[in-house]
Amino acid sequence: MNNADNPPSVREIRINPIIPSESVLVATARSMRPKKAEELVPRDTRSHVETCPFCRGNEHKTPPAILTIPNETNWDIRMVENLYPVLGDDRQDANLTFGLQQTIDGYGRHEVIIDHQNHGIALFEMSVSHLALLFQTYRDRMKVLYESDQRLKYVLAFKNFGPAAGASIPHTHSQIIAMPVVPQNVHDEVENSRAYFTKNNHCIFCSLIDEALTFEATIYDRNSGSVRRKMSVGQYVIEKGKKFIAIKPFASRFEWEIHILPLNHQADFMTVSNEDLEDFANVLQRSMARLDAVIGGAQYNYFLHTQPQGKEYQDCNASYHWHLEICPRTSIPTGFELGAGLSVNTISPEQAAEQLRNVKI
């Protein structure tokens, strides 16, 4: 995978600074490689497929459109109800508790956004203005959904790309799920960053960005005096725009995981301006082009984490910081990972970051 000069192997558990329970075992020595690689499937690069329900001309094969941009026939982005929703508002069941078991009604909305009229286009091949429009669409739809029903606690925008990432239709698309609960990982991020803020009077995400841009450290071995660890400025930075930064997390769960965050503090994705989304789109497009150049045909999930609505989250404006997590799927999780609740990453985040940063795009 990497150059021949045998980079030092790493075998350590790295603590996620925001959610310590989501820590990662980084184990790069070859003998430690316990994971099976995801099968690389060639990307469907056709621009139009006669039988595809998401291609232009086949609009009658999907549920009715919720939204078409810029118009119904020559649309660039089209939003429809999901034919197989995981949550719905077609029936209302009461929440139940019996013994130790508890249920919450699976109330919500599940919508599909056909990202682009071009069937097989990869994200990095889309224009920056198109990507900005796509994220504007997420933002505007979130607002409409939150305003439509007080019972909706969180609206998750995400994308699955490739069969390994769970995409069942090859035409490029993303999804929005409005949920009656705040996802546990978002809740944990919010609560832990709130606790950090109470203690340090600073947003932990902003602190991590500052660290990525300015921090430098060398740790020496006390006995031999040799260098045990060196951290250099910008070591984890993949891309930097005027308003956004793409970072390789120190405790990356996935080998090629990248997070994109606004450089200036902002808790709620719904408050991002169109102008800022242009810069975001540029950073996203370049990051995805880097991923493609390094691993080729990446199958991935991305998802937006933003300040949840609702009273109990109102005061986390200063402590929470929205971001996009991009998780390329290059290996299948093992029983050890599921059983131990610990992700295993077999490529050191430092080397992955270096490769992503240095590759020509």
Binding site for Zn ion (CB under 5 A): 49, 52, 54-55, 119, 171, 203, 205-206, 265, 305, 321
The helix/strand/coil state of 351 is helix
CA distance 21 to 74: 47
**61 vs 143, which CB is nearer to Zn ion?**
61
Contacts of 87 (CB under 8 A, 6+ apart): 106, 107, 108, 109, 110, 177, 178, 179, 180
For residue 358, the one-letter residue type is N
**139 vs 323, which CB is nearer to Zn ion?**
323
CA 346 to chain centroid, in Å, comes to 20
The distance of closest approach from Cβ of residue 321 to Zn ion in the complex, given in angstroms and rounded to an integer, is 4
**49 vs 66, which CB is nearer to Zn ion?**
49
The distance of closest approach from Cβ of residue 189 to Zn ion in the complex, given in angstroms and rounded to an integer, is 5
CA distance 329 to 254: 7
The distance of closest approach from Cβ of residue 151 to Zn ion in the complex, given in angstroms and rounded to an integer, is 23
**276 vs 354, which CB is nearer to Zn ion?**
276
**52 vs 352, which CB is nearer to Zn ion?**
52
**270 vs 359, which CB is nearer to Zn ion?**
270
The distance of closest approach from Cβ of residue 323 to Zn ion in the complex, given in angstroms and rounded to an integer, is 6
Q: Are 323 and 245 in contact (CB under 8 A)?
A: no
Length reported for the chain? 361
Burial class (CB in 10 A: 0-12, 13-18, 19+), 216: exposed
The distance of closest approach from Cβ of residue 220 to Zn ion in the complex, given in angstroms and rounded to an integer, is 32
The distance of closest approach from Cβ of residue 292 to Zn ion in the complex, given in angstroms and rounded to an integer, is 20
**107 vs 154, which CB is nearer to Zn ion?**
154
Instruction: Look up residue 163 and give its two tokens.
Output: 């069969």
Picking from 149, 157, 133, the residue whose alpha carbon sits closest to that of residue 302 is: 157
Q: Are 252 and 323 in contact (CB under 8 A)?
A: no
The distance of closest approach from Cβ of residue 240 to Zn ion in the complex, given in angstroms and rounded to an integer, is 16
Phi, psi of 76 (to 5 degrees): -100, -30
**47 vs 129, which CB is nearer to Zn ion?**
47
Q: Give, for 328, the enclosing helix (H) or strand (E).
A: strand 323-328
The distance of closest approach from Cβ of residue 209 to Zn ion in the complex, given in angstroms and rounded to an integer, is 7
CA distance 205 to 259: 11
